[in-house]
Structure 1
């Protein structure tokens, strides 16, 4: 009996040790002031199954603006509503992100083209004052854009560019936003991939950012990569400070990122044949 008791105890300890290891592996860490395990989930209507970008105007969350990556339409409405309005600005295409500066909407296409149109005209069924800004970015694939309304600057981050190895860095481009809603090159920046790999202990990743936004409270840059299942936080100079794993069961395919004026974070996720597109809201509780 004593022999069997020892065997049983040994087996029990092994199971407990395994369970503990599994629990530690599944522990999710979050940026200061946020809890990535406790979002408020807003399901999107069918039109936004493939939601690819989200933003607010002047940080006001009462109305959200979004695009999806197949139709040249701007969608807008209230989070939680079963229906949203839309206006058409372009032909079918792979549209990935959007931003608003003052009264101009900027939409980023995956090939680096940017479309601009007046925010005040979006109640029209189809927009007529649309500008296409071409040949302002190097050849490549782009999914991340942010507009600084106060500084009147536009930031675009490359996902996969021909001029660089994405195992080394991801280059971003800065533009001055001109009064006529066009842009003027004003410099660039880099996200050094080694700074990320040092944090996550994986030196083989190819960093492929899918959205970026500036936190108005902490003054940090937040960058989402759906391919890498990561949320990266960088300082004002784009030096990487932290990286957080995103659980697939919560973040089905994170393609959009925005903050409201209070620092609450919103991440949009594309849906699939089983799940609707969604926007996850993470309340900011202050740095602790």
Structure 2
């Protein structure tokens, strides 16, 4: 019986892979009202200096500037939105694996992969005020994505690794997004959102085929390597309020509703997206995605909504 499941899953995975790569403009999805981005044709590509080869998180600082971090030094970079040039650098601590950044008013929040959060006040001044918050997340969770949610006045933390806080496999087959309450200054003990990997696998199927595919994937425990989704960045779209989650391992951009339903999934062209790590949106809907450089230079890609 398991063998039959594997054969069917292989066929459906091939089918879904073809659908990902051959989506037509006439195809109707749940996110048809969402802004459309031509992910294979960025409006601008900015090559970044060598010191930003390990760029990770991105955030909008103000109308003209993007804030960024890289995963080796406690340093915030301010980057011009019109030219991609680094305007200034601001240190706030020692070395570490810094993965995400977001802004709450003029205060920067920075995420470490072990789940620690750093509130950096007055970071453009010579002596910023830095407060560390240790959360129940650990290196096993591998926290990578960080976004401010004004709707709940909280920080959303997307985990690349283990989805649960405690031992065991409570959320096996899912990736977790946790919420850090900025009033209580504490992390939720259960995920605010769960990304069902089997739904990602089955997304391009429809009706009864999709339902069977989800059940078959869960029963067999199979998730194809080609579509294995590990969140590396998260942002909230200013117009439709959807969560946008990127994965550098799967080269996918996922859109999720506030109810936790996957609205759409887009393939990120590998030629443009070497290692997508950070994502943010300007108020007009313009999307920015950062790429680690690998053996070359890092980059930021800008996409205006169509």
The answer as to 2:208 corresponding to 1:204 is: no
Q: Give the drift of 1:44.
A: 1.5
- Mark the CA change 1:81 to 1:136 in structure 2 (over 3 Å): closer, same or farther: same
- When the two structures are superposed, what TM-score results if normalisation uses the length of structure 2? 0.75
Q: Output the CA distance in 1 between the equivalents of 2:21 and 2:189.
A: 43
- Mark the CA change 1:224 to 1:81 in structure 2 (over 3 Å): closer, same or farther: closer
**Quick check: which has more Rg, 1 or 2?**
1
Match of 1:10 in 2: none
Q: Output the CA distance in 2 between the equivalents of 1:189 and 1:81.
A: 33
Q: Give the drift of 1:61.
A: 4.0
RMSD value over aligned CA atoms? 2.6
Q: Give the drift of 1:126.
A: 4.9
* Unaligned ranges ≥5, structure 1: 1-22
- Mark the CA change 1:107 to 1:172 in structure 2 (over 3 Å): closer, same or farther: same
What secondary structure is seen at the aligned counterpart in 1 of 2:203? helix
Q: Give the drift of 1:62.
A: 0.6
Q: Give the drift of 1:281.
A: 0.7
The worse-fitting range, judged by mean Cα deviation, of 170-179 and 275-284 is 170-179
Match of 2:244 in 1: 222
The answer as to 2:195 corresponding to 1:191 is: yes
The answer as to 2:54 corresponding to 1:50 is: yes
Match of 2:211 in 1: none
Match of 2:67 in 1: 65
Aligned length: 255
Match of 2:77 in 1: 75
What secondary structure is seen at the aligned counterpart in 2 of 1:252? coil
- When the two structures are superposed, what TM-score results if normalisation uses the length of structure 1? 0.80
- Mark the CA change 1:105 to 1:36 in structure 2 (over 3 Å): closer, same or farther: same
Q: Do the aligned residues in 2 keep the contact of 1:158 with 1:170 (CA within 8 Å)?
A: yes
- Mark the CA change 1:35 to 1:236 in structure 2 (over 3 Å): closer, same or farther: same
Q: Give the drift of 1:173.
A: 1.1
Q: Give the drift of 1:165.
A: 7.7
What secondary structure is seen at the aligned counterpart in 2 of 1:140? coil
- Mark the CA change 1:150 to 1:189 in structure 2 (over 3 Å): closer, same or farther: closer
